[in-house]
Amino acid sequence: MPIKERLADSARMVRGYLVRAYSNFVAKVFDVPPRLAAFLCLLALLAIPCSGDKYLPMLTYACINAILAASWDLLVGRTGQVSLGHAFFFGTGAYISALLIQFYGSSITIPLLQITIPFYLLTIPASLAIIVVLAILIGLPALRVKGPYLGLLTLCIPLIMSNIVNWYVLSDIFHGLSGIRVPYFFSFLRGNPIRDTVEYYFALTVLFFSAVIIYKVATSKTGIVFVSILDNELAAKACGINVTRYKLLSFAISGVFGALSGCIYAHLILGRARPMLFETTWSFLPITMTFLGGLGTIYGPLAGAFIYTFLDQYVMPTYLEPVMGYWGLSRYFGMLRMIIFALLLIVLIIKWPRGIARTIVDKLDDLAKPRDIEERGPRIWKKYKKEQKEGRFRKIFSKFKKKPKEKESEVET
Amino acid sequence: MITEIIIRGIIQGGSLSLIALGLTLLYGVSRVVNMSHGALLMLSVYIYYALSTPHILGLDPWLALIMAILVMGVFGAIMYRLTIHPVLGDDVAIMVVTITIGVAIQSLVVMFFGGENMGLISPIELGYIEILGVSVSWISIITLIVSLSLFALVALFINWTKIGKAMQALSQDREAAMLMGINTNRLYVLTMILSVVLVSIAGFLYCIPVKLVYPGLWLSIIISAFAIVIVGGLGSIKGSLIGSFIIGYADTIVRNLHPAAGSVASIVPLSVMVAVLLIRPKGLFGKRVEMED
């Protein structure tokens, strides 16, 4: 019975794959508490559309913000190159895609296969590729300067862009304030109630893959070099690292993901590439989110983006606006929102510079550290509760006691 | 044409130089890049507006000027102690905190005064004077004289008084200055107050001649101020004086050369700044790149 054997063989193979995948999952995700938490968050985000889609556009927006914040964090939190002008990548990405669509039409027919596809499938990768070139061109001179100089320089670049885009001489190309119209991603679902859900899942998928790529980059050898530049540039140079090359690399990767979020924002939410994308707000948004979540982690900006968007789009309009409307102050609402966020950011930076997500991740990392077998597990915990308690007290008291010197010498030898 | 460019450039540079002076002083002494500098300028002009406009408080314009400067000094000291002092030494945090303060001040101003342009009352009304065939208002000549003399005063203050020398010591080495018995914290606050007072005077000299103030002012101010300071080198008073004239002339030349320049003229200071940074990464008169960094 060759067929049966073959079937059994393939079944064994599939089972082997599944077992390997499962053990891989357990080893790489389940046993690492921060990753487990991230995985649970991802599951929760995947399940959200089942509970009713009133706030789905808000979550889509949060996903886009999260990509932007994560890309900013890679440049600033990992490599230490202060960028106050991430709006440059955000806006330029959207504008390149829009310009290509403006010049070549919104759909394109592939010559050999005779299939017509929407052009944005090609313009977005093209705009990302152009962004890499632009980031290197701008980065080469910009990364020569350091610290505050770099921050101010990057603050100015999006302003230059916004002035160029608004210039009336070039209004035939950029169409001034109203901007260039771009096709929506899911315009074929117009009027369909499923559209919000599809858009949300699309944004979440893009966020997931960008986050994974940024995480991989940040934890790879390259990422360690980035952190070495952040810690001490001179020492990194002394170790034979080509600092400029790695700075440019960080600039380019960060720019690509910034541009990606800009493209998605233009194609998914705005429907236009407008000079508004170069506004300073888009440079501060990732900063606020990253400081909210925690600088220098991948979890920080993502969590920060969701928390910020939740506060900004849900809590403020639902709780603050009615109160202000009651007092007849609703026209001040937008301004008060800005002031509240500004105060929140200042207090966070001064009092809690580590951010929310980073504190939680540190706690979780602490859980993952190897301990004595007695400390693990609920059953053993019950059994040894008493001893553990004593142990804890002993730990506390041991702070007041001087350690005997012999033990230290033992450890050394 | 050329005489017009020369004269207008001097006036433009003079009015810009005072804005940059406070910024460069603060950076030189305490290494604080104050991104809310433009917002402080705007706030001082709005306080003057609130104090002097007849239907709000209606004080005498000169009294309003002095009171606005006093209020701004107190505000600057409080702002420094509450927000900047706790994060001193961290470049990113200082920049983010100060620019957030700028955004907050802008929102506050829009909340109280609305987003429209506001007309100001001028304490003095003066005519125009013809210099080499170019008509120049007296008030801009006064602006030029006041800013140059304030530059001279600050330079004298830094070089001749005891506090000024302490500031120099602080800018060179903080710990050594502390060891010499200088109360560094008090000196930081003093520098901040000085910087804020200078920027409020600059704000009056910038806004009262055109009799106009609006909430978007702070961003345009901060851009030209930083362009100047970076061209001259952060922390160098001489550099900021020269940088302001470079930027002023570049701006005037572009505005006069072609009428189509329009909004693109405002990127001229930025382009000059980028060009200077490419040649000298620390500005014209900035210190050399230190090896510890």
Which pLDDT tens digit goes with each residue over B156-168?
988 898 888 888 8
Average confidence score pLDDT of chain B: 83
Sorted by sequence, the CB contacts under 8 Å of residue A149 that are 6+ apart come out as: B230, B234, B277, B281, B282, B283
B107 against B274, higher pLDDT: B107
Least confident of A1-15, A364-378, B198-212, B256-270: A364-378
Partner residue facing B293 (CB), from A146, A151, A169: A146
A157 against A332, higher pLDDT: A157
**Segment holding A99, helix H or strand E:** helix A87-104
Nearest-CA distance B94 → chain A (Å): 9
Cβ contacts of B99 on chain A, cutoff 8 Å: 84, 284
Say yes or no for a CB contact (<8 Å) between B101 and A342.
Answer: yes
Whether ipTM exceeds 0.85: no
Confidence of residue B193 (pLDDT cuts 50, 70, 90): very high
Tell me: pLDDT of A310 over 90: no
Least confident of B66-80, B121-135, B200-214: B121-135
Cβ contacts of B111 on chain A, cutoff 8 Å: 332, 335-336, 339
Cβ contacts of B101 on chain A, cutoff 8 Å: 342, 346
User: Which pLDDT score, from 0 to 100, does residue A395 have?
Assistant: 54
Nearest-CA distance A340 → chain B (Å): 8
Q: Rounded to whole angstroms, how far apart are CA atoms A258 and A131?
A: 9
Cβ contacts of A335 on chain B, cutoff 8 Å: 107-108, 110-111
Partner residue facing B270 (CB), from A84, A156, A335: A156
Sorted by sequence, the CB contacts under 8 Å of residue B46 that are 6+ apart come out as: B109, B112, B113, B118, B213
Per the structure block, which two tokens stand in for A137? 């061109």
Tell me: pLDDT of B288 over 60: no
User: Which pLDDT score, from 0 to 100, does residue A388 have?
Assistant: 55
Per the structure block, which two tokens stand in for B176? 């050594």
A340 touches chain B (CB under 8 A): no
Tell me: pLDDT of B132 over 80: no
Say yes or no for a CB contact (<8 Å) between A336 and B107.
Answer: yes
Q: Rounded to whole angstroms, how far apart are CA atoms A67 and A253?
A: 12
Nearest-CA distance A315 → chain B (Å): 20
Say yes or no for a CB contact (<8 Å) between B96 and A168.
Answer: no
Per the structure block, which two tokens stand in for B63? 């009294």
Least confident of A91-105, A180-194, A244-258, B10-24: A180-194
pLDDT tens column, A341-350: 888 888 888 8
A160 touches chain B (CB under 8 A): yes
Cβ contacts of A342 on chain B, cutoff 8 Å: 100-101, 103-104, 107
B209 against B25, higher pLDDT: B25
Tell me: pLDDT of B228 over 90: no
Least confident of A30-44, A369-383, B26-40, B219-233: A369-383
Partner residue facing A141 (CB), from B106, B278, B289: B278
Task: List the beta strands (DSSP E) in chain B.
Answer: 118-119, 128-131, 134-137, 212-213
A347 touches chain B (CB under 8 A): no
Q: Are B39 and B205 in contact (CB under 8 A)?
A: no
Q: What is each CA distance from A61 to A264, A305, B50, B274, in whole angstroms?
A: 10, 9, 40, 34
Q: Rounded to whole angstroms, how far apart are CA atoms B143 and B109?
A: 26
Cβ contacts of B86 on chain A, cutoff 8 Å: 350
Q: Is A371 exposed, middle or buried (0-12, 13-18, 19+ CB in 10 A)?
A: exposed
Q: Which residue of B has its CA nearest to A330?
A: B111
A167 touches chain B (CB under 8 A): yes
Per the structure block, which two tokens stand in for A114? 């005779």
Per the structure block, which two tokens stand in for A389? 């308690």
> Which pTM value belongs to this model?
0.81
From the list B244, B243, B230, the residue with the least C-alpha distance to B281 is: B230
Partner residue facing B277 (CB), from A149, A159, A350: A149
R_g (Cα) of chain A, nearest Å = 26
Cβ contacts of A149 on chain B, cutoff 8 Å: 230, 234, 277, 281-283
Using DSSP's 3-state secondary structure scheme, residue B78 falls into: helix
Q: Which residue of A has its CA nearest to B260?
A: A169
- Residue the block writes with tokens 């063989």: A9
User: Which pLDDT score, from 0 to 100, does residue B292 have?
Assistant: 41
User: Which pLDDT score, from 0 to 100, does residue B289 have?
Assistant: 45
Tell me: pLDDT of B252 over 80: yes
Q: Which phi and psi angles does B136 have, rounded to 5°?
A: -125, 140
Say yes or no for a CB contact (<8 Å) between B270 and A82.
Answer: no
What integer is the mean pLDDT of A156-171?
A: 80
Q: Rounded to whole angstroms, how far apart are CA atoms A110 and B51?
A: 68
Query: What is the count of residue pairs from A and B with beta carbons less than 8 Å apart?
Result: 119
User: Which pLDDT score, from 0 to 100, does residue A393 have?
Assistant: 52
User: Which pLDDT score, from 0 to 100, does residue A403 have?
Assistant: 56
Nearest-CA distance A162 → chain B (Å): 10
Cβ contacts of A343 on chain B, cutoff 8 Å: 104
Best of B24, B99, B106 to disrupt the A interface (most A CBs within 10 Å) is: B99
Q: Are B204 and B20 in contact (CB under 8 A)?
A: no
Q: Is A87 exposed, middle or buried (0-12, 13-18, 19+ CB in 10 A)?
A: buried
Sorted by sequence, the CB contacts under 8 Å of residue B242 that are 6+ apart come out as: B232, B284, B285
pLDDT tens column, A251-272: 999 999 999 999 999 888 888 8
DSSP-derived secondary structure letter, B291: S
Q: Rounded to whole angstroms, how far apart are CA atoms A228 and A241?
A: 9
Q: What is each CA distance from B250 to A143, A144, A309, B271, in whole angstroms?
A: 25, 24, 42, 10
Q: Which phi and psi angles does A116 have, rounded to 5°?
A: -95, 125
Q: Are A115 and A251 in contact (CB under 8 A)?
A: no
Partner residue facing A338 (CB), from B107, B234, B278: B107
The rounded percent of chain B whose pLDDT value lies above 90 is 11
Q: Rounded to whole angstroms, how far apart are CA atoms A412 and B271?
A: 61
B113 against B292, higher pLDDT: B113
User: Which pLDDT score, from 0 to 100, does residue A252 have?
Assistant: 92
User: Which pLDDT score, from 0 to 100, does residue B192 have?
Assistant: 92
Q: Rounded to whole angstroms, how far apart are CA atoms A38 and A404?
A: 44
Contacts 24+ apart (CB under 8 A), A39-45: A41/A303, A42/A208, A45/A204
